[in-house]
Amino acid sequence: MIPELGHLGMILALCLALVQGTLPLIGAWRGDRLWMGLAVPAAWGQFAFLSFAFVCLTQAFLVDDFSVAYVAGNSNSALPWYYKLSAVWGAHEGSLLLWALILSGWTFAVSVFSRQLPEEMLARVLGVMGLISVGFLLFLIVTSNPFARLLPQTPVDGRDLNPLLQDFGLIVHPPMLYMGYVGFSVAFAFAIAALLGGRLDAAWARWSRPWTLVAWAFLGIGIVLGSWWAYYELGWGGWWFWDPVENASFMPWLLGTALLHSLAVTEKRGVFKSWTVLLAIAAFSLSLLGTFLVRSGVLTSVHAFANDPERGVFILIFLLVVVGSSLTLFAIRAPVVRSQVGFALRSRETLLLVNNLLLVVATSTILLGTLYPLLLDALSGAKLSVGPPYFNALFLPLMGLLMLTLAVGVLVRWKDTPLRWLSGMLAPVLLASVALALLAAFVLGDFAWAVLATAFLAAWVVLAGARDLLDKTRHKGLLKGLHALSPSYWGMQLSHLGIAVCALGIVLSSQESAERDLRMAPGDAVELGGYRFVFEGTRHHEGPNFVADRASVRVFDGDDEVAVLHPEKRLYTVQRMPMTEAGIDAGFTRDFYVALGEPLENGAWAVRLHIKPFVRWIWLGGLMMAFGAALAACDRRYRVKVRARVREALGLAGQGA
């Protein structure tokens, strides 16, 4: 009974989405306030019904209702309750329901927090989001109903959740990632609404900015979680593989980064307007493309649940409709928009333009490497793959350039900057960075160009940030001055610091890591990277839904024991699926990482030993970027001045910030 109610909830939500996606848009076009007013209640109703549907599905999982096909396929009575909960979004149908729920959640949030938007703008934004929702709910109901029943042959027990997904990281990774993906729909909706209304101005950029920041932050956290999960769960010790599925989430993030910076220029200076709109459209399109790639089955991975061509075709058509119609609208409307102000070469505008170019080029190269094998397969049937060296060779130099320009961009002023002043600011930063880089190379011992260059770039970025802090506080004195700086400024500083931390983590963990795969019998010891690893054999161990061989590996530094690791080789009993559970000793400056391969004769095992210096910094840096964005989104000016801005947008007040 309850699953049927959930199904009904989805259908009612679709009806409300249809209302929300059509009438308010028509109302905004004809100036009909009654029709525009339908947007908010429709959005609320849709959110309520989808929440209800989601609760129904969750309930089916928690009470082990195996008559529901989706529950039977992805849960088991022996599964701990928290994995039953996360199994709700553990496969295709449920994750789409989560997607739709999050979309309606974002819509709800827009209707609550943007009450002071002009009526037409709000109606258009909610209308566009309603249309997106119609697409996804149709997809959900027509091709992937999570409430479909297995009657009358109800299985006695479920087929269990894929063991790879039985993990804390996977409880939180998908919701975070979806918050980001779907969050870009808000930026997209604002851009489309602005195009429809023919008003692309600073006010639009300011409305759009906090939403974009929050979405970008969520996407960043989602990517970090995914990378962290791959690191400890796949047992290879890698944290990024340039896998198409990873790229699918990384591309919208990169374009989102470009969008954030472009929005800043549009807000502050009123230039780059069409470019910003284009980026907003592109970022959301890449989110949809990511969904298509991941969900359609053209790629095969843990993420590709749907090997049903019908579903792939549906998403592809939806993608084409969204991209096609929004680009058509852009082509019709964009020529009307022209910027009135210019800027000189040595200005922040130029530097942010360079930032945008680099990020767009980086995204394009990743897109090329991701789609090339698929296109070639579709056209000629040739099977090939593009290896990580391609991505590294193109992406890393671009990011180096990005960090190089970042420091200048932070210091340079809007509109125009005297060259002498700029070089006066940058010269000490340059000298100190070179000195620090040389010092770092000296301390680390083995010389490597990559380490030297990255140490320089990281110091360059951090010191330029510090230089800017000093400059900003030169009038009020350091302490008082620091206090007066806005959250959005601190957010920017934190995010930029995150890039430096992340870059250091990436280079140090890949350049300085020590790894060995070897055969170890109980009692065997091996030296690696100045530490001694002693393998003490395995013992039998039983978990709630798996049995395991659990090894003990002691790590010694000289005579001191620094860590005891317990890697496991598990066998999940329902699916008869073996899994490697790595033993990790996490540290701020280094991780010990031990994973079991396969058992060999006489109690010996194939063992993988890694020492990964500074690997945590990668995720720490990623989180710093995300929290920086969240901090910036908290800035008061996005809330307090709303009334003044509305008047400004309506042309009632001549002067605005």
Partner 1 sequence: MNPVRKRRLFIVLAILAGVGAAVALALSALQQNINLFYTPSQIAAGEAPEGARIRAGGLVEKGSLQRDATSLAATFRVTDGVATVTVRYQGILPDLFREGQGIVALGRVDAGGMLQADEVLAKHDENYMPPEVSQALEKSGMLKHYENGKPGGAQ
Binding stretches for partner 1 (CB under 8 A)? 162, 164, 235, 300-302, 307, 361, 364-365, 368-369, 372-373, 381-387, 389-390, 393-394, 517-519, 575-580, 595, 597-598, 600, 606, 608
In the bound complex, what is the minimum distance in angstroms from residue 287's beta carbon to partner 1?
Answer: 23
Euclidean distance between CA atoms 98 and 88, whole angstroms: 8
- Residue closer to partner 1 by CB (options 365, 473) is 365
- Residue closer to partner 1 by CB (options 73, 487) is 73
In the numeric block, the tokens 């957010």 are attached to 491
Give the DSSP letter of residue 557: E
Euclidean distance between CA atoms 444 and 350, whole angstroms: 37
Phi–psi pair at 587, nearest 5 degrees:
-140, 165
- Residue closer to partner 1 by CB (options 59, 365) is 365
In the bound complex, what is the minimum distance in angstroms from residue 366's beta carbon to partner 1?
Answer: 10
Q: Which two tokens stand for residue 216?
A: 């970008």
In the bound complex, what is the minimum distance in angstroms from residue 464's beta carbon to partner 1?
Answer: 26
In the bound complex, what is the minimum distance in angstroms from residue 234's beta carbon to partner 1?
Answer: 9
- Residue closer to partner 1 by CB (options 183, 369) is 369
Whether residue 524 contacts residue 633, with contact meaning beta carbons closer than 8 Å, is answered with: no
Euclidean distance between CA atoms 202 and 374, whole angstroms: 40
- Residue closer to partner 1 by CB (options 31, 387) is 387
Sign of the torsion formed by the C-alpha atoms of 486, 492, 498 and 504: negative
In the bound complex, what is the minimum distance in angstroms from residue 435's beta carbon to partner 1?
Answer: 33
In the bound complex, what is the minimum distance in angstroms from residue 606's beta carbon to partner 1?
Answer: 5
Amino acid at 512: E
Give the DSSP letter of residue 68: B
The SS3 call for residue 531 is strand
- Residue closer to partner 1 by CB (options 86, 212) is 86
In the bound complex, what is the minimum distance in angstroms from residue 554's beta carbon to partner 1?
Answer: 21
Could you tell me which residues come within 8 angstroms of residue 284 by beta carbon, excluding any fewer than 6 positions away? 184, 185, 187, 188, 252, 322
- Residue closer to partner 1 by CB (options 471, 527) is 527
- Residue closer to partner 1 by CB (options 313, 439) is 313
In the bound complex, what is the minimum distance in angstroms from residue 236's beta carbon to partner 1?
Answer: 9
Which helix (H) or strand (E) element contains residue 560? strand 560-565
Q: Which two tokens stand for residue 13?
A: 């939500």
SS3 of 97-136: the string is HHHHHHHHHHHHHHHHHCCCCCHHHHHHHHHHHHHHHHHH
Whether residue 609 contacts residue 515, with contact meaning beta carbons closer than 8 Å, is answered with: yes
- Residue closer to partner 1 by CB (options 119, 243) is 243
Could you tell me which residues come within 8 angstroms of residue 3 by beta carbon, excluding any fewer than 6 positions away? 56, 57, 60, 65, 67, 68, 147, 149
Phi–psi pair at 652, nearest 5 degrees:
-85, -35
In the bound complex, what is the minimum distance in angstroms from residue 99's beta carbon to partner 1?
Answer: 23
Which helix (H) or strand (E) element contains residue 516? strand 514-520
- Residue closer to partner 1 by CB (options 236, 421) is 236
- Residue closer to partner 1 by CB (options 229, 617) is 229
Could you tell me which residues come within 8 angstroms of residue 416 by beta carbon, excluding any fewer than 6 positions away? 343, 344, 346, 347
In the bound complex, what is the minimum distance in angstroms from residue 345's beta carbon to partner 1?
Answer: 12
Cis peptide before 522 (omega within 30 of 0): no
Q: Is 340 exposed, middle or buried (0-12, 13-18, 19+ CB in 10 A)?
A: exposed
In the bound complex, what is the minimum distance in angstroms from residue 525's beta carbon to partner 1?
Answer: 16
Could you tell me which residues come within 8 angstroms of residue 389 by beta carbon, excluding any fewer than 6 positions away? none
- Residue closer to partner 1 by CB (options 46, 513) is 513
In the bound complex, what is the minimum distance in angstroms from residue 229's beta carbon to partner 1?
Answer: 13
The partner residues of 607 in beta bridges, in order of sequence, read 518, 596
Number of neighbouring beta carbons within 10 Å of residue 280:
30
- Residue closer to partner 1 by CB (options 243, 416) is 243
DSSP string covering 618-647: HHHHHHHHHHHHHHHHT-GGGTTTHHHHHH
The SS3 call for residue 151 is coil
In the bound complex, what is the minimum distance in angstroms from residue 42's beta carbon to partner 1?
Answer: 41
- Residue closer to partner 1 by CB (options 138, 606) is 606
In the bound complex, what is the minimum distance in angstroms from residue 232's beta carbon to partner 1?
Answer: 15
Q: Which two tokens stand for residue 479?
A: 């302490």
| Angle, CA 259 vertex, CA 255 and CA 260 arms, to 5° | 120
Whether residue 211 contacts residue 187, with contact meaning beta carbons closer than 8 Å, is answered with: yes
In the bound complex, what is the minimum distance in angstroms from residue 20's beta carbon to partner 1?
Answer: 38
- Residue closer to partner 1 by CB (options 151, 382) is 382
